Amino acid sequence: MTQWTVLYRKEMTEMMRNYKMIWIPIVFILLGVMQPVSSYYMPEILDTFGGLPDGTILEMPTPTGTEVLMNVLSNYGMLGVLILVLSAMGVVSAERQSGVAGMVMIRAVPYSSYILSKWAGLLTITLISLFIGYAAAWYYTGLLIETVAFERIFQSVVIYSIWLVFVVTLTLLFSTIMKGNGSVAFVSIFVVFAISTVTSILGKYMKWSPATMTEHTGQVLLSGELDSSFLLAFITTIAIIIFLLILSIQIFKHKELLE
């Protein structure tokens, strides 16, 4: 077994023992299921709690299935990102702080194996949570509202996952650079937010931005067609992810690991 495999298995075991492997997917499932359920029951909810005067006629168009799923993804984009960043913030920094990272690196482990095992662990939890949560959302949307073609679901979730992978890779970088968990989370969220905002304001010039993945996801859901700028965005995002990983490894190499 290679050192990388040993480290990756340790990551997985750790996430099982501290229940991250359970509660993060549960949060994604809840976020996913809430949307179709609340859309379906909205008229009744308003009826019961709304306290609207008798005779008010509610014009509430029932959203389409794709609209519901787009709302699910926008929830993932806010709360989902927050949860992922908060759960990933200590991935390197906590081990540096406690000194256990030094105990690992004593064993002639390549710096890249250490960082890449961390990355693979984050990737696993992110993709599992997203896929399960989104599948649940799809199932309930089909049950309560209308069926959305599986092909579109599959394409959209794959594209969306690239954005989330970018987010956790960024968190991994900041966790390598900084020591305090709070500052790692704060800076990661801030940067993700800034990239999203700048991308939506300067859309024309930001066709390459990783944040356009969320737009491409919506596009695929709605029309089943990919925008022509997708390839550019895809290539730059993958390149940025690789660059962030290399940067993390280089920075980790130059950190002092035992106090």
Partner 1 sequence: MALLKASDLVKRFGNANAVKGINFHIEEGRCVSLLGPNGAGKTTTLKMLSGLLEPTSGSIDFKGKKAKDLRPFIGYLPQYPAFYNWMSGKEFLVFAGQLAKLNRKEAEKRSEELLERVSLTNAKKRKIAGYSGGMKQRLGLAQALIHRPQLLILDEPVSALDPLGRREVLDMMREIKEETTILFSTHVLHDAEEISDDILIMHAGEIAISGSLESVMEAYRQPILQIEFESQAADWLKSIASYSFVSEVSIQGNKANIVLGDMVNGKQTLLKDIVDRKLPVRKFEISQTTLEDLFMKVVKA
Binding site for partner 1 (CB under 8 A): 1, 3, 6-7, 10, 14, 17-18, 98-100, 102-109, 256-259
- Least separation in angstroms between residue 10's CB and partner 1 is 6
Q: Which two tokens stand for residue 24?
A: 């993060």
- Least separation in angstroms between residue 107's CB and partner 1 is 4
In the complex with partner 1, the residue whose CB is nearer, 77 or 121, is 121
Instruction: Give residue 174's identity as a one-letter amino acid code.
Output: F
Long-range pairs, 30-34, Cβ under 8 A, ≥24: 30/133, 31/72, 31/75, 31/76, 31/79, 31/80, 31/133, 31/137, 32/72, 32/75, 32/76, 32/133, 32/134, 32/135, 32/136, 32/137, 32/140, 33/136, 33/137, 33/140, 34/75
In the complex with partner 1, the residue whose CB is nearer, 97 or 236, is 97
In the complex with partner 1, the residue whose CB is nearer, 113 or 188, is 113
Residue 58 DSSP symbol: P
In the complex with partner 1, the residue whose CB is nearer, 118 or 152, is 118
- Least separation in angstroms between residue 244's CB and partner 1 is 24
- Among candidate residues 11, 192, 235, 161, the one with its CA nearest the CA of residue 85: 192
- Least separation in angstroms between residue 88's CB and partner 1 is 17
In the complex with partner 1, the residue whose CB is nearer, 43 or 99, is 99
- Least separation in angstroms between residue 227's CB and partner 1 is 45
The CB density around residue 19, as the number of other CB atoms within 10 Å, is: 10
